[in-house]
Structure 1
Amino acid sequence: MVRFLHAADLHLDSPFKGLSNLPDHLVKMIRNSTFEAFNNMITYAIEQQVDMVLIVGDIYDGENRSLQAQKYFVDGMQRLQKANIRAVISYGNHDHLGGKWVRFNLPSNVDVLGNEVETKKLHINDEVIYIHGFSYPERHIKQKMIDEYPVAQQNGLHIGMLHGSLAGDESHDVYAPFTKQSLLNKKYHYWALGHIHKRQILHETPPIIYPGNIQSRHRKEQGEKGFYDVHLQDDECHYQFIRADVVRYEQVVMDGTPIRYANDVTAICHKALQTVRSQGAAIVELRITNLTEEGHALWQQTSPMEWLALLRESEADETPMVWVASVTCDAPKEALTKASEQVLALIDDWDEERWQEVLGELYQQANVTRFLPQYQTIQIDEMKAQVKETFLQTMRNK
């Protein structure tokens, strides 16, 4: 049996986005968070006495790695070495081998995958372990690198490391694309993936897993971040997600039905923030839904920035830190219905001359005309119907 950690996308020294409105002490904490999350992972590996750590690409955020980030990573590898823990790492599209940087020498417990698919053979706990993978020689790898991976034939445990994209998933830049079946065809016991920052289990047996990144870096990277603790023996595999992040980003939706007075707003928000706080430090976007017309009228009497300032002040002394990035509320359903009727009526009221006027303005925009049908072929009645359907569908999804 071998026990290892599977991590990816550390993005050490990443430039964080959206920090302009934060207090200085919070900015400092967030800027250091990728380093602290990495430190949390190394500490966990040592305390749990795992056998090895796999890091699947994008250790650093840029191809020209900073001295600070490299020194911090080398220190972590040296801590593993003192604990007799092996490490196998690969570099991804962000920290590819074609970059220019002042290099640090890695300790002897670290195996680095080269710029072509190769196999590392390790002996751990009387087990023979084959680790297959590669590092990016340059930033853009568009070819199907999975075709270069060997099919497992020797006895032992086979683990694939691949920093790339599931074919057809364009939520992230598509590099080294693969299909799930192409991974299964290699007959490995575990697939350690990287590149996609959202934690995903693509297949259970054998496991094909994206651990996500270990620390959120902006509001689009929601929820807990960390790595997997994996126990692997023959065809039996057990794995558990372990949090490593220092601060996370959350979006919280609250039921505003009871709101009648200002203290109702603060009470509902405080309760939601306490739930978030119980899981650690966070940056939170609050959204209030289901307001009555009375509650919505109360909300509109004060500017959103005043509500935000009030909430921030009331939460300032609470620990751990939960910073309210924004607070918004949805209009009541009744108001949405009235607004919808008004918009639909307006669409019907426009005559052909008005439509031609608006479309003429649109067709004068050179950067969009290539996406539009020929002006002469447009049927106004058909366009009205399409506009109505698109609007109604949008309102249904609110």
Structure 2
Amino acid sequence: MRFIHAADLHIDSPLRGLDRYDGAPIERLRTATRSALERMVDKALAEHVDFVLLAGDIYDRDWQDFHTGLFFREQMVRLNRADIRVFIVQGNHDAQGVISRQLTLPPNVTVFSSRTAQTVHLDELSVAIHGRSFRERAEDEDLVPTFPELVPGCFNIGMLHTSLSGRPGHDTYAPTDVSTLTAKGYDYWALGHVHAREVVSETPRIVFPGNLQGRHANETGPKGCELVSVEAGRVEAEFIPLDVVRWSQVVVALEGIDRLEALGEVFRSALEPMLLGASDMLHAVRVTLTGSTHLHGIEANQPGTLDAAIRAAAQDVSDAEIWIEQVQLDLTTPLDRTQAAQRQDAVGELIRLVDSIGSDELALKTLVQEELGGLLSALPQEVAAGDVPQMSDAADLLILLRDAEATVLARLAAGEGA
């Protein structure tokens, strides 16, 4: 017996803010979730799997129109023509109370009820599949105790959209724990909700496959599904990458790098591990430049220089398609700050001023609440949607203050060297 376990397709997930990026491959990014599902169906057909499990969040939200539902239905029809059954539990994004438009799915698709947990028997395979959907978006109850007892003599699979006992970056829905899942006696738990692949347990096998397609810079690395084979009760599983756009974050250390030409070389070296075996897709990369370097002075005098240099270096990579989503700077100019604070000039005065403000927590909090709070809240919506500092506390402001200091010092240093 063989089956595919996938989750969190988030078909037609809106990618907000892309218009801010000049030259962004907008259409390819917006259609990536569809392309990943097509690749999953292609894999199911090529491997002649017996069935497919989809553990929630098929859709990202209520359909704006019927095109989203029709696309998903078309992929299910492809599986139906090959006699491949599909089993679905709905999660928080596609709960029965969230999706208002409806289309009748082909007969190979079973969507588990949200009223109670159900069991579907596949007698020809000696398999029992148990599952329960979300009725509404916020499901606070542990649903596992409502699941049926295992079916003796069968390979028992449980399907659930859950955060388990909590996962960073994910809201708590249908909370439960490994001991509760294990106590059911099932052989395999097909979970959804967590977008990073995680094998929670081997015996029984409890797995989050992650989402099929990363949607932004925080959903990094290969994305795809589990291809599971079961023989004589023994489970073997393989992760299958299906993403067509792969998001990555690359940190480039520039300590001691003082030439723009060398920047390109260092960047391409940092990029190489990410590209191994993955040249057939678009790579969306967020780059962070770190370290103490005289290049910071060049950037201070000509803002945008390092961003452009990284993008130029990406153009020179011949064996992969790369789009630089963003270049972030975490740089300092080589300077003995303690010694510089003793100087009786603009440099020393600036450092002493920053130290004075930074050491007064009350003054920082007042500045956040009374001065910057109103200013940030007045930003236009399209600006506020971008990477604007939240300024939730004094620590945020101190980081911004240090960054401003570094930029000014870089300009002063560049002016002294001119």
TM-score by length of 2: 0.77
SS of the counterpart of 2:91? coil
Query: CA offset at residue 118 of structure 1?
Result: 0.8
CA deviation digits over 1:211-257, x for unaligned, max 9? 11111111221111111111123542111111111102111112324
Whether the 8 Å contact between 2:299 and 2:305 is mirrored in structure 1 is: no
Whether the 8 Å contact between 2:128 and 2:151 is mirrored in structure 1 is: no
Q: Within 5 Å, which residues of 2 pair with 1:254-265?
A: 254-257=252-255, 259-265=257-263
**Alignment counterpart, residue 156 of structure 2, candidates 155, 158, 176:** 158
Say if 2:172 is the partner of 1:174.
Answer: yes
Whether the 8 Å contact between 1:117 and 1:148 is mirrored in structure 2 is: yes
Cα separation, partners in 2 of 1:338 and 1:42, compared to 1, 3 Å: farther
Distance 1:294 1:360 in 2: 35
CA deviation digits over 1:181-240, x for unaligned, max 9? 000001111000001111111111111110111111112211111111111235421111
Question: Percent of aligned pairs with the same residue?
Answer: 32
Query: CA offset at residue 60 of structure 1?
Result: 0.9
Distance 1:253 1:228 in 2: 30
Correspondence for 1:309 = 308
Distance 1:49 1:194 in 2: 23
Correspondence for 1:216 = 214
Query: CA offset at residue 174 of structure 1?
Result: 0.9
SS of the counterpart of 2:170? coil
Distance 1:235 1:114 in 2: 28
Q: Within 5 Å, which residues of 2 pair with 1:1-150?
A: 2-22=1-21, 26-64=25-63, 66-115=65-114, 116-124=116-124, 127-150=125-148
Query: CA offset at residue 101 of structure 1?
Result: 3.6
Cα separation, partners in 2 of 1:178 and 1:234, compared to 1, 3 Å: farther
CA deviation digits over 1:21-57, x for unaligned, max 9? 3456710011110000000000011111111110011
Query: CA offset at residue 294 of structure 1?
Result: 3.9
Whether the 8 Å contact between 1:66 and 1:101 is mirrored in structure 2 is: no
SS of the counterpart of 1:45? helix
CA deviation digits over 1:307-327, x for unaligned, max 9? 223433453474642111222
TM-score by length of 1: 0.80
CA deviation digits over 1:136-157, x for unaligned, max 9? 1111111111110123242110
Q: Which runs of 5+ in 2 are unaligned?
A: 342-350, 374-393, 403-418
SS of the counterpart of 1:167? coil
**One-letter identity of the residue aligned with 1:312:** R
Distance 2:194 2:186 in 1: 21
Query: CA offset at residue 164 of structure 1?
Result: 1.0
Whether the 8 Å contact between 1:5 and 1:227 is mirrored in structure 2 is: yes
Whether the 8 Å contact between 1:96 and 1:135 is mirrored in structure 2 is: yes
Cα separation, partners in 2 of 1:300 and 1:86, compared to 1, 3 Å: same
Distance 2:174 2:285 in 1: 34
Cα separation, partners in 2 of 1:363 and 1:164, compared to 1, 3 Å: same
Structure 1, 272-281 or 64-73: larger mean CA deviation: 272-281
Distance 1:25 1:214 in 2: 21
Distance 2:291 2:366 in 1: 40
Distance 2:89 2:67 in 1: 19
Distance 1:339 1:45 in 2: 65
Whether the 8 Å contact between 2:298 and 2:305 is mirrored in structure 1 is: no
Cα separation, partners in 2 of 1:309 and 1:183, compared to 1, 3 Å: same
Correspondence for 1:326 = 326
Structure 1, 214-223 or 312-321: larger mean CA deviation: 312-321
Distance 2:269 2:222 in 1: 20
Cα separation, partners in 2 of 1:50 and 1:338, compared to 1, 3 Å: farther
SS of the counterpart of 1:330? strand
Correspondence for 1:282 = 283
Cα separation, partners in 2 of 1:216 and 1:18, compared to 1, 3 Å: farther
Cα separation, partners in 2 of 1:307 and 1:359, compared to 1, 3 Å: closer
Whether the 8 Å contact between 1:262 and 1:298 is mirrored in structure 2 is: no
Distance 2:14 2:260 in 1: 38
Say if 2:186 is the partner of 1:185.
Answer: no
Whether the 8 Å contact between 2:5 and 2:54 is mirrored in structure 1 is: yes
Query: CA offset at residue 363 of structure 1?
Result: 8.7
SS of the counterpart of 1:10? coil
Distance 1:136 1:243 in 2: 27
Distance 2:340 2:145 in 1: 53
Distance 1:14 1:336 in 2: 48
Distance 1:295 1:360 in 2: 35
Correspondence for 2:379 = none
SS of the counterpart of 2:2? strand
Q: Give the aligned CA root-mean-square deviation in angstroms.
A: 3.3
Distance 1:321 1:251 in 2: 15
**One-letter identity of the residue aligned with 1:34:** T
Whether the 8 Å contact between 1:14 and 1:34 is mirrored in structure 2 is: yes
**One-letter identity of the residue aligned with 1:281:** L
Structure 1, 215-224 or 181-190: larger mean CA deviation: 215-224
